[in-house]
Structure 1
Amino acid sequence: MGTTVTDNPDASRFEITVDDTVAGWVDYREHEGEYALPHTRVLPEFEGRGIGSELIVQTLRTIAERQGSVLPFCPFIPKVLHDNPELIDLVPADQRETFGL
């Protein structure tokens, strides 16, 4: 199973593909390097494989490479951040409590 996460700026979302098939995405609204992430979706046929976590981790790493910050409104993202504490710094310190971080 080959997966790839790419930014699709025309759709304002990061997408994960499995063997060239879109398996899920995380929507974003970007303003001056701050990414609000309101919704994550994994298609039913790809659920239960860790696709969602992989999508979020790779999305956060891409945002980190861009020196951006994250507002994780989707309730799944803070759960992934708890499992990957090295990425929590992407959430502004004054916003972490809002998201349970």
Structure 2
Amino acid sequence: MEIQRDDNGKKGQFSALIDGQESGLMTYTWAGDHKFIIDHTEVNPDFSGKGIGKQLVMAAVAFARDNNLKILPLCPYAKKVFERTPEIQNVQWF
């Protein structure tokens, strides 16, 4: 699986690709220069149950850590991943 990030300066997305096919998507919106809000996560039903949603959240966490950013997970799925994964809560913005 490959995860790509696209960003236009105000909004962005992480896309998961398997064999060139989009298997999942997570969108975010910038909230200033050092914070972003995860607002939506979805997985293509053909790829359900493979952990793609969590891998998208973890890609956002890695991006945040690499760039000294904070994340506000408003998307219910992303919020649940943050609640269940204590080791990523240090990048969460409350």
* 1:5 counterpart = 2:22: no
C-alpha distance in structure 2 between counterparts of 1:81 and 1:19, whole Å: 28
C-alpha distance in structure 2 between counterparts of 1:33 and 1:25, whole Å: 22
The percentage of aligned residue pairs carrying the same residue is 24
Alignment root-mean-square deviation, CA? 1.5
C-alpha distance in structure 2 between counterparts of 1:42 and 1:72, whole Å: 17
The list of structure 1 runs, each at least 4 consecutive aligned residues, that deviate by more than 3 angstroms after superposition, is: none
Structure 1 portions without partners, runs of 5+: 96-101
> What residue identity is the alignment partner of 1:25?
L
Q: TM-score, normalised by structure 2?
A: 0.85
SS in 2 for 1:89: helix
How many residue pairs match? The answer is 91
Q: TM-score, normalised by structure 1?
A: 0.80
* 1:85 counterpart = 2:83: no
The answer to which structure has the higher strand fraction is 2
Matches within 5 A, 1:27-66: 27-30=27-30, 31-66=32-67
**Could you give the per-residue CA deviations for residues 47-86 of structure 1, whole angstroms, max 9, x where no partner exists?**
1111111111122111211111001000111221233211
